[in-house]
Structure 1
């Protein structure tokens, strides 16, 4: 079962919070798959990751660029296959209320949602219930004044 963390964005937008989390994965030698709902948002995030200041280097790719096995971060709108992420990622980032039928192929799942969007919060609660019923180890993180704070 995956360690499943819910990340409640309350202080910064996704475009600022996500690069730092991805940077932590890369600095630990990990690989990540980022699952998004909309191709247009994927393209916007792709551009934003190339120009983000912190961290200043987030090597990544998407189906448009191809060669997933070469990409430490894989941006996609497609769920992982039976063998897992196409880039061998063990970290899955779920954005835009996406869900994966392949949680068991990842060590860690990070589900980011906007705390200012009541629909996103309600959808996250539903995903929490489903992940709990699936036997995953759940954690809840919320942005605080000093960064991410683990809540009970």
Structure 2
């Protein structure tokens, strides 16, 4: 199980998330995007339709159709109705249920840094979990820092 911590400093979620989502889908995998905030979920829904002028990421919000067919499903809870093995936690809140997936992406901003650090420490002593911390360099590119 791999957990990638993304500290959003220079790049906002609306630029970082579509890049990760595209890589997951291009790799033939499915993604569950989780946020407890209805407004954020609606914003992500709009974003995935229009993040690039030449394409979109196939997705839906949970309950909007046949959830089982969605390559990307946006939900308020960590329940993979689309059989995703990758989960993106985008509201800054770590959820232990993410450990049931093959890979978790934990996006957080400065306001959630304390809880992200607590999650990092808690996961450090657990067998079978690989943690990676990503930060941005001066050019705005992601670099693995830990």
TM-score exceeds 0.5: yes
Q: Which piece of structure 1 moves more, 29-38 or 49-58?
A: 49-58
Alignment correspondent of 1:131: 123
For 1:86 and 1:54, how far apart are their aligned partners in 2? Answer: 29
Distance 1:131 1:94 in 2: 16
Q: TM-score, normalised by structure 1?
A: 0.86
Number of residue pairs matched? 144
The counterpart of 2:85, out of the listed 71, 90, 101, is 90
Instruction: Please list every run of 5 or more consecutive structure 2 residues that lacks an aligned counterpart in the other structure.
Output: none
**Which segments of 5 or more consecutive residues in structure 1 lack a partner in the other structure?**
none
Q: How does 1:7-46 map to 2 (within 5 A)?
A: 7-46=6-45
> TM-score normalized by structure 2?
0.89
Query: Any residues of structure 2 matched to 1:25-104 within 5 Å, and which?
Result: 25-53=24-52, 56-80=55-79, 85-104=80-99
Q: Structure 1 residues 64 and 103, CA, compared in 2 at 3 Å: closer, same or farther?
A: closer
Q: 2: CA distance between counterparts of 1:111 and 1:54?
A: 27
Instruction: State the Cα distance separating 1:56 from its structure 2 match.
Output: 2.5
Find runs of 4+ consecutive structure 1 residues off by over 6 angstroms: none
1:149 counterpart (125, 143, 146): 143
